[in-house]
Amino acid sequence: MVETVGQLSPQDWLIHADTHAVIAALTAEGAVARFAGGCVRDAVLGLPVHDVDIAVTCPPEDTLRLLAVAGIKAIPTGFDHGTVTAVTSSRPFEITTLRHDVETDGRHAVVAFTDDWSADAARRDLTINALYADLDGAIYDPCDGLADLGARRVRFVGDAERRITEDALRILRFFRFYGRYGVPPADVAALAACRKLAPLLDSLSGERVWSEMRRILEGPSPSEVILLMRGEGVTDRLMPMALSPGRLRVLAWLESRGIVVPGVGVSAVRRLAAVIASGDPLADTKRAEILASSWHLSKAERGRLLGMLSTLPEGLEVTVDMPKPVARRGMYRIGVDRWRDRVLLAWAEYRHCHGAGGCLPGARGSAAWEALLRLPETDAVPDFPVSGRDVLALGIAPGPGVGMALSRLEAIWADEDFIHDRPALLARLPDIVNETEGCG
């Protein structure tokens, strides 16, 4: 029997009417329901709680029925593994029947349902995730997770190798949770198991790998985690290429603590670009393509990653001392979002290489980089005020000549720092059309 060992401080989510309604529905016929995992862990640490998960002793078919009787919408989101999601006006609640593993193959598990809280805790990955609490806030801790939380120690439940062989993704989960909750030194048994069983990562789907790597990169100290993973041979299985944790460290500091700029925040894709970039656009593009394919990045994520690492338009190089007109032309040519990404990566590389020195040392350099980053708000480029209709109005037949004339006029407009308005550009358009027709 698992005894209570502590008490949660008052929590808004714990006293919310929706929470009480869901628990009342689940326990209406004598089942026991407790909050489980991350919501208890983060509440103990005084961190914001986002997802509220519930463990319950009744089987999933009873969970569905009890919620329906109470008028609460229920979705069988993982029914074979005992999971039902209750949907309320305030939040969803993921409710899972207590279970233990019957068979595992490193990727998927066959489970059996149980009413044994210790057995349910024993199948969880980390001790800090094997915490439970009841509606009154009483904490149940069958795996000594509270002591590990207090020591900021991240370790596997029971035997580390066994936990990993049950699901190889737990290697990445260990590093993710260590990055968020742990302090050095990392658990020796956990590291040894991760190092020994790293080849099991090859069996994982790209989606699962990217899901965890994204969270690792979004963490508070991604460079330290990547270094630790590299030391244990984990990144060799996932990213068999030269890595730059130093550049990543600077970028993560800029994103999260160094600057406050509208439109700029933590980006896993940008941090991925920082850690794999070598300075050779052709090689970096190939690296990005390999990772985007193997990790199944979305089309938008792939495009953004390639946009940060591919060759810039001819004549464009993002530097701390670039003149403002040149910077505005560059921003216009590659777009605002890509501009911000490229400036941040260039800034991180500059600080990584020069520290507080360089051609613009100290505060002068920081101010110059931030000015480049703020260009979209301080010196926004207007929309090009001429269209194909204006070219056609001069009697030009539809075809490639229309685009050629527009592109030529737009290039002149950009080269002259976007100072000309629509009337001025229309006045120059006939000459541009004549020139392009002559070239044709």
Q: What pLDDT does residue 260 have?
A: 86
| Residue 232 pLDDT exceeds 90 | yes
Out of 38-42, 145-149, 377-381, which region has the weakest mean confidence (pLDDT)?
Answer: 377-381
Residue 258's identity, in one-letter code, is: G
Report pLDDT for 103. Answer: 62
- Taking 60 as the threshold, does the pLDDT of residue 440 lie above it? no
| pLDDT reported for residue 169 | 97
Helices (H), 312-335: 324-334
- pLDDT top residue among 255 and 396: 255
Q: What pLDDT does residue 399 have?
A: 87
Binned at pLDDT 50, 70 and 90, residue 243 comes out as very high
Percent of the chain with pLDDT over 90: 80
Give the model's pLDDT for residue 1.
Answer: 59
Beta strands at 92-97 and 52-56: parallel, antiparallel or unpaired? parallel
Mean of pLDDT values over 370-392: 92
Look at residue 223 and tell me whether its pLDDT is greater than 70.
yes
pLDDT digits (tens, 9 = 90+) for 17-35: 999 999 999 999 999 999 9
pLDDT at 3: 81
Contact 212, 184 (CB under 8 A): no
Tokens representing 65?
A: 């029925």
Task: Identify the weakest region by mean pLDDT among 257-271, 312-326, 348-362.
Answer: 348-362
pTM value > 0.75 = yes
**pLDDT band at 355; cut points 50, 70, 90:** confident
User: Does pLDDT of 109 surpass 70?
Assistant: no
Q: Which pLDDT score, from 0 to 100, does residue 179 have?
A: 97
Query: Using an 8 Å Cβ cutoff, are 268 and 217 in contact?
Result: yes
Q: Is the four-CA dihedral 6, 10, 15, 16 of positive or negative sign? A: negative
pLDDT per position as a tens digit, 151-182: 999 999 999 999 999 999 999 999 999 999 99
Rounded distance between C-alpha atoms, residue 316 and residue 314, angstroms: 6
pLDDT per residue over 115-127, tens digit each?
Answer: 999 999 999 999 9
pLDDT of residue 439: 55
Contact 249, 362 (CB under 8 A): no
Distant-in-sequence, close-in-space partners of 357: CB < 8 Å, separation ≥ 6:
none
Q: What is the pLDDT of residues 289-305, one digit of tens each?
A: 999 999 999 999 999 99
- Contacts (Cβ under 8 Å, ≥6 apart) of 71: none
List, edge to edge, every strand of the sheet that includes 92-97.
Answer: 4-7, 138-140, 132-133, 33-36, 52-56, 92-97, 83-87, 73-78
**Proportion of the chain above pLDDT 70, given as a percent:** 97
For residue 314, the model assigns a pLDDT of: 84
pLDDT > 80? residue 361 = no
**Mean per-residue pLDDT, 41-70:** 97
Confidence of residue 400 (pLDDT cuts 50, 70, 90): confident
CB 95 within 8 A of CB 153: no
* Rounded distance between C-alpha atoms, residue 209 and residue 102, angstroms: 25
For residue 104, the surrounding DSSP H or E stretch is strand 99-104
**Numbers of helices and strands, H then E, in the chain:** 23, 10
Cβ-Cβ contacts under 8 Å for 41 (sequence gap 6 or more): 128, 129, 131, 145, 149, 181
Task: Tell whether the model's pLDDT for residue 202 goes beyond 90.
Answer: yes
Residue 433 banded pLDDT, cuts 50, 70, 90: confident
